Chains A and B, each alone.
Chain A
Amino acid sequence: MAHASIGEQLFALGWRGGSVLPPELHELIRRHLHHTDGKAPKRIDPNSWLIVVSQSCDIVVPRDDAEPYIELLWAHPYAGKPRKGYRDLRSTRQLDFRPNQKTFSELALTVHATVDRFFVPRSALLEGRPDVHRTLSAVAIKRLHAWFALRYYRPAWPEAFVARIQPVRDRLLEVLEPLTEDVAEVRVAILPNDRELDKDKYIVAVYFVVPAEQFQNSPDTRRLVQEGFNKFVSALNDCDGIELSTDLSDVVSGNEFTWEQTQHTDLWDFAYLSPFE
């Protein structure tokens, strides 16, 4: 039988995207975790989770030179619930999440998008098997991958605009809490959307788009969304340097919000309000 490739060996050991390193491997892996100062951490808290976030196909690819490294995320236990501003992909910089609601229902982890990401040689994983007790749920794995992706495809809203929104960020979060994706989609048009303004105001048009069926058949939904809209624009009005376009903003039915209008607007996402690094 031919010698098994590194990919085959890793597959046989059970390594996949989302696998967690057992504490026994921490010491071995520690020297590969270089911070920006080039130094490895002195120790790894055994309660922290070192998560393989590379895609499964990259982990098991046969040739070592095709994928010499795998990516690790060093997640730290966070005492308390996932924080409102950092959970559910609301920040591209920091993520608080629950790794597995079934097996670790009380545990919350936190990761920083740059500080806690490391590349280590793929061969290092040959030294052991994934942790059998600490496993990520499918939702947690999806969330981590979506978080990484979000960081790269977020629209580049001007930093000055993002800074001006910060004082009301928590108010806006609260307002949008009950408005899930199937109740309303919040879209905004920002003018100018590509320039850092010093003194001038950004003009913002806000749309709360309600799925047509609900808009057509549910006055209660229309009221719920309108309440959210009222509070949202009230908070925006309290931001220095931001002016709401009262001519354009409104709650609208998905039937009326055209494809053209989607081209002039961005989806509102709290992750887009993470300051740039």
Chain B
Amino acid sequence: MALTIGLAVLFVLLILGTPVGFAMGISGVVGLYLIGGQTMVVGILETAPLSNVTGYELITIPMFLLMAELVLVSGIADDLFNAVAAWVGRVRGGLGMATAVAGAGFAAICGSSTASAATLSATSLPAMLKQGYEPKMAAGVVAISGTLAMLIPPSIALIIYALLADASIGKLLIAGIVPGIIVTFTILATVWFLAWSDPRRAPVSPPTSLREKIRLLKVVGPMLLLFGMVTGVIYTGVATPTEAAALGAFGALLVVAYRGRARFGILWPAFVRASYTSCMIAMILLGAHVFGYFFVLTQVTQSLVAEVAALQLEPWMVMTFVLIVYLVLGTFMDQIAILVLTVPVMLPLILSLGYDPIWFGVIVIVTAEVGLITPPVGLNCFIVARYARRPVAEVFYGSLPHVIAHLLVIALLTAFPAIVLWLPNQM
């Protein structure tokens, strides 16, 4: 009974547009009150709000968000795209491929896929359109390339999963590398295929002189520095993910300064935006925390695991079903909301089937990426549409080939968990 009421309150609030963290907190309190009365509610609300934000590992979130904001204002993304475009622009579909490579490079220094989609929209999209690219194709490759940021470390989404699943942040971040490379190559292959099947879609760029090509490479230095300061130190174990995140933010600050943009008017809004987003994420985690207490007391996950076990299905059948659920949720819900609402329920089930929590985290993120580029609420497509001033339907249509290719990648990573787990197991 308490479970039904708690869930009903949650879903009504979510449908009415109540912020996810608020909705989870409120429905959690209602449920806890029904189970344990006022004493239980007071007991949890006394400690949860503070203990939620005082954890050492939570510091990774504001620091990676700050790094993302600083990388954005550094203007490094423009140069990154220009450098790659100069080198591969002569290939058929070259600028599209440059977008994917710049997206992967940017992802390696920025953990936010919306930030990445916005940046690529502002840089590579105009370049492609100027070159005479089919707008649909250009928009699609930008939207999908933006999703790489949530897979390639540093990834905010993977950190949130780690906090929810109580898994190693370091291992999860490193586990995103190989799948990130695979997704990048998949985008490259899709672009190549599209350009090959109809060359008018993607005209070849004019050549760039070798001197210019080499001059453009100077952006690679700061990028590698930031990548090393974050992913390098995590992989080698020199610093904890928390320290790596702060080093990354500091490194990004240095890059901003090096590029002569360290002015108060530029830096201050970046710090403010990072605080807003950090607070938003911490609020969702607090809501999930309160709701989680309630959920554990109802023992609903244990019954779910027992029921699924009683069905005697093959693990891959359950896994396929789980992935379909994530794909459906991804079409209309925010990716972080999906994580906090589903991971506490799904993870015990997945573990009972003998799967690895690190692998599952990466699979969930790769699956969630699809939701960013599918209607009706694929956020990246809306961002691209807004920047490109094109109809959002066109962007969704342009993303379709990438969605299909992405589903193949999900199937591959699901069938061969070793692809995901090999690198983190070397740590």
The answer to whether A and B belong to the same complex is: no
